Structure 1
Amino acid sequence: MNLFLVLQQTFQDFEFLIIDDGSTDGTLEKIQKYHDSRIKLIVHSTNMGLVESLNQGISLSTGDYIARMDGDDVSLPRRLERQVAFMDLNQHIGVCGGQAQFMGKNQITRAPLSHEEIRCFQLFHCTFAHPSVIFRKSIIDTYGVRYFPYKHAEDYDIWNRLADFTQLTNLPEVLIILRQHSNQVSVASKWVQDRNADAIRMYQLHQLDLYPTEEEYRLHLDFSDFKIRVHDFVHYSNCLAWAHKILEANYKKQKYDHETLNRVLSQFFSLSEVN
């Protein structure tokens, strides 16, 4: 983590909880060289894992808001200023993320902005860049929400549960720079992440009384990955049938805003064609 960049945020009134989860690469020694009253260092003698560390950070935090940050990513200088100002002005919003740019690339995320659109996209995949998120401590504490042990997909799960209690949003501007490397979770433990993400998706489908066949679930993943083969008549027809099945189920259950869900499903078709 680039501590200097965090400490140089334009918004300065924050406590900086740093949880060293049993690191052995010299990280702790680097942290201890910084002398700033905002830093609160928690050291684990042995590795407790990400979920345990995240929940510990939530319990120890004392501010109105909790902002997440990973050690190898970069928050842009006005990230906290922008999010705190937005949350102060929008008391109905409990979770706020933003767009991310990948380091060394022109690639920028296209995360959905509105609460209803986020909820609909979450039926397929996680819509937040986890290190970009800020959320209200009061919401977390009032409803007793904590991260569950969906290893490497714990953020995907918690946004779905928080959506039952508060409004979610993503800001349109880039707030963080994401670093990509071969050792990060999405590469090194992809099979675990995929398995747990599957469980989260399936739970949401079951809430619609949808119990997809193996083939239908493969189609669902094609939606999630924007891999609908729009020029393959059979595949396109099967995807269209699955989309109609989702809409019919939602019409009965009224879990998602129906117009928004219809629009989101249409986007999977149009964006698959572009990609």
Structure 2
Amino acid sequence: MNKPFFSVVVPTYNRANLLGDTIESVLDQTFKDFELLVIDDGSTDETREIVTSFCNSANIRYIYQENKGQGVARNTAIKTATGEWVAFLDSDDLWLPDHLKGHYDLICSSEEKISWIHSGYLFFDDQGKKFPGCGRPLSGDVFPELIKAGNFVSMSTVKIKKCVIENYWFHENPNLPPSEDRELWIRISADYRLHYLPEVTCLMRMHSGKSTLNIERVKVASWIVVESLLQNQLISQRLLPYKKDLVAYHYFYLSIIYYREGMMAKSRLQLFQAISQNPKLAVSPKVIELFLKSLLGKTVSAKLREFNQSLQSLLMNWRYSFLDHTNES
């Protein structure tokens, strides 16, 4: 039996109400040379029944494990995967039909050797409205950017050669989510150049089912990333010029979290901590913007953010509607 080109990895936990749409979006791909691995991380809902309802598709494999966390679930799938490339998809996100085809075409047509890829994406809500993604279209040596400016690589758009990911693996510390992806991307980017596919063929869901923010958990996870990377001897030389940047971003990230939760004084305190680690941040436009917004307060800032999101969504949905009518003509 020939090995598939892609092994699509979908870890899931108690998302039976959304998992079916995710699976369908994979099965509807125009590029068919893939296997789909659904890793059930100890779900107590109807996840198993949802997956088995697609049993007529020969390229789906369902793997159940006791609840051990996302890192263990993804690593289980990587060990099981038979494809040349591993593709990640969260169990509440969707791929448009040409998603895999676009990545396959880039891999085959590129004159440069490709080891891992990410691509464009949009957010969408329960009403189907689309919003711009938060990623940045960066490629090449992205190690400094991931250290200084945080994660811009969406898990659900990443494709990576299996022979590469097998040398890294996801961190299995149960306290690391939601920062486990950035920690891995930094380690991989220390050795491999990242490639970017500008086509937007991934939709990331915004809905009430997303985990409720636990600030203490976020703080712990973010600091685990810092400690884990500082203690990693395999990237110590590469990381040496960026140690202060790594710690500074930790505090800047917490400042953003506190700001979003309306804790303006704590947000500013974290900003000052970030600047103490890296004084150059004092003149950074992003830092200045966050500081001024924290002075405005949560209500004013929220209204400005809501207006901006509504405007962007309106323009984006108008654009897609216009393109749809043009294609029909």
Match runs of 1:44-193 below 5 Å: 44=65, 46-90=66-110, 92-103=113-124, 104-117=129-142, 119-141=144-166, 144-148=167-171, 149=173, 150-185=176-211, 187-193=212-218
**Partners of 1:18 and 1:39 in 2: CA distance:** 7
TM-fit CA distance, 1:10: 0.8
Q: Conserved in 2, the CA contact under 8 Å of 1:5 and 1:75? A: yes
Relative distance call for 1:43 and 1:15 in structure 2 (3 A) is same
Q: Conserved in 1, the CA contact under 8 Å of 2:138 and 2:195? A: yes
TM-fit CA distance, 1:41: 1.2
Relative distance call for 1:241 and 1:68 in structure 2 (3 A) is closer
**Partners of 2:64 and 2:249 in 1: CA distance:** 46
Residue of structure 1 equivalent to 2:241: 208
Paired AA for residue 122 in structure 2: Q
Work out whether 1:7 is the aligned partner of 2:36.
no
Tell me which of 212, 221, 227 is aligned to 1:196: 221
TM-fit CA distance, 1:96: 0.8
Alignment partner of 2:116: what SS?
A: strand
Q: Conserved in 2, the CA contact under 8 Å of 1:101 and 1:176? A: yes
**Partners of 2:58 and 2:154 in 1: CA distance:** 29
Q: Conserved in 2, the CA contact under 8 Å of 1:92 and 1:167? A: no
TM-fit CA distance, 1:21: 1.7
Alignment partner of 1:175: what SS?
A: strand
* Number of aligned residue pairs: 245
TM-fit CA distance, 1:111: 1.6
Paired AA for residue 72 in structure 2: E
Paired AA for residue 145 in structure 1: Y
Q: Conserved in 2, the CA contact under 8 Å of 1:16 and 1:40? A: yes
Residue of structure 2 equivalent to 1:242: 278
Relative distance call for 1:174 and 1:271 in structure 2 (3 A) is farther
**Partners of 1:216 and 1:43 in 2: CA distance:** 37
Deviations 1:211-256 (A, max 9, x none): 58x99964576699999xxxxxxx89x969936489xxxxxxxxxx
TM-fit CA distance, 1:132: 1.2
Work out whether 1:28 is the aligned partner of 2:51.
no
Deviations 1:61-91 (A, max 9, x none): 1111100011111111111111122123335
**Partners of 1:50 and 1:216 in 2: CA distance:** 24
Residue of structure 2 equivalent to 1:258: none
Deviations 1:108-140 (A, max 9, x none): 334232223464244331111111111111212
**Partners of 2:217 and 2:277 in 1: CA distance:** 30
User: Unaligned stretches of 5+ in structure 1?
Assistant: 228-234, 247-264
Deviations 1:128-168 (A, max 9, x none): 11111111112123xx2100122321111111111122111
User: Unaligned stretches of 5+ in structure 2?
Assistant: 1-18, 231-238, 261-270, 294-304, 306-329
RCO higher in structure (CA 8 A, sep ≥6): 1
Q: Conserved in 1, the CA contact under 8 Å of 2:144 and 2:242? A: no
Relative distance call for 1:241 and 1:63 in structure 2 (3 A) is closer
Paired AA for residue 67 in structure 1: A
Alignment partner of 1:177: what SS?
A: strand
Residue of structure 2 equivalent to 1:38: 59
**Partners of 2:131 and 2:78 in 1: CA distance:** 33
